[in-house]
C-alpha cells in the first residue's frame, strides 16, 4: 500500500492489518519549545535517550546525543532529567 494516497475506503486493503510505519508522521510540528544539547556540558550518561517518550534522541557521528526534530514534540523531559543541565529548551519562534 506504500506510496498510494488514501482518498476513500476503496483504497484501503480488505483486512485491517497495518502496513506502513508511523514514521511518515512528523510529529515535530507539534513542538513549541525546542531542546538544544550542549556538547560541552554533556557527560554521555544517556538519561535523555532513556526517558524520551518519542524515541527522538539518537547518537550523532561523534557519539553525542542529538535530537531528531522530525519527531520531538518538545515535552522537555530530557531537559528536566539531564543531571548536568546540558539541555536547554528554547522557544521555537525565537529560532
Residues that bind other proteins (CB under 8 A): 1, 6, 12-13, 16-27, 30-31, 45-46, 49-56, 59, 68, 70-71, 73-77, 79-81, 89
DSSP code at position 51: H
Q: Which is nearer to other proteins, 13 or 94 (CB)?
A: 13
CA distance 84 to 15: 50
Let me know: does 58 contact 65? Beta carbons within 8 Å: yes
CB of 69 to other proteins, least distance (A): 11
Q: Which three cell numbers stand for residue 7?
A: 482518498
Q: Which is nearer to other proteins, 37 or 74 (CB)?
A: 74
CB of 10 to other proteins, least distance (A): 14
Q: Which is nearer to other proteins, 60 or 70 (CB)?
A: 70
CB of 49 to other proteins, least distance (A): 6
Burial (0-12, 13-18, 19+ Cβ within 10 Å), 31 = middle
CB of 60 to other proteins, least distance (A): 13
Residue 70's alpha-carbon distances to 1, 4, 57, in angstroms, are 23, 22, 11
Amino acid at each position: 500500500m506504500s506510496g498510494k494516497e488514501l482518498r476513500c475506503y476503496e483504497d484501503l486493503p480488505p483486512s485491517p492489518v497495518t502496513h506502513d510505519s508511523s514514521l511518515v508522521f512528523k510529529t515535530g510540528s507539534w513542538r513549541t519549545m525546542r531542546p538544544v544539547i550542549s556538547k560541552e556540558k554533556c557527560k554521555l550518561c544517556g538519561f535523555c535517550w532513556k526517558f524520551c517518550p518519542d524515541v527522538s534522541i539518537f547518537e550523532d557521528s561523534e557519539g553525542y546525543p542529538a535530537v531528531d526534530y522530525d519527531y520531538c514534540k518538545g515535552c522537555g523531559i530530557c531537559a528536566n532529567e539531564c543531571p548536568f543541565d546540558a539541555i536547554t529548551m528554547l522557544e521555537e519562534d525565537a529560532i
